[in-house]
Amino acid sequence: MDDHETPDSPSEPHPWRVLKFGGTSVATADRWKNIAHIVDRTLADGVRCVLVCSAVSGISNKLEALIETIEAGEPVGPAIDDIRSVHLKLIRELD
């Protein structure tokens, strides 16, 4: 950047910001509304976003338990149903 250019000058691309959310911050519809507000505010500030969403609260532990269930040769249906139900509940809240 030349001395006379500013970060907002047309020759400079808008900056990027990675916004990562997971756990309790993605566990409810209200939390997703908050994420949308954060993204909107970031975009309004002229910053481009990369949105990264990791597992909903408790899901990482459930996936680890699922691996143990598989390794033990036990039926996985109940564990998968449990994981599915968490996500379906969130989908219903967001609908």
- For the chain, state the CA radius of gyration: 20
Please report the pLDDT score of residue 6 as a whole number: 47
Q: d(Cα 67, Cα 61) in Å, to the nearest integer?
A: 10
Please report the pLDDT score of residue 14 as a whole number: 84
Please report the pLDDT score of residue 13 as a whole number: 75
Q: What is the pLDDT of residues 27-52, one digit of tens each?
A: 999 999 999 999 999 999 999 999 99
Residues in the chain with pLDDT values less than 50: 1-6
Written in H, E and C, the secondary structure of 50-71 is: EEEEEEECCHHHHHHHHHHHHH
Please report the pLDDT score of residue 8 as a whole number: 53
Q: Note the pTM of the prediction, 2 decimals.
A: 0.73
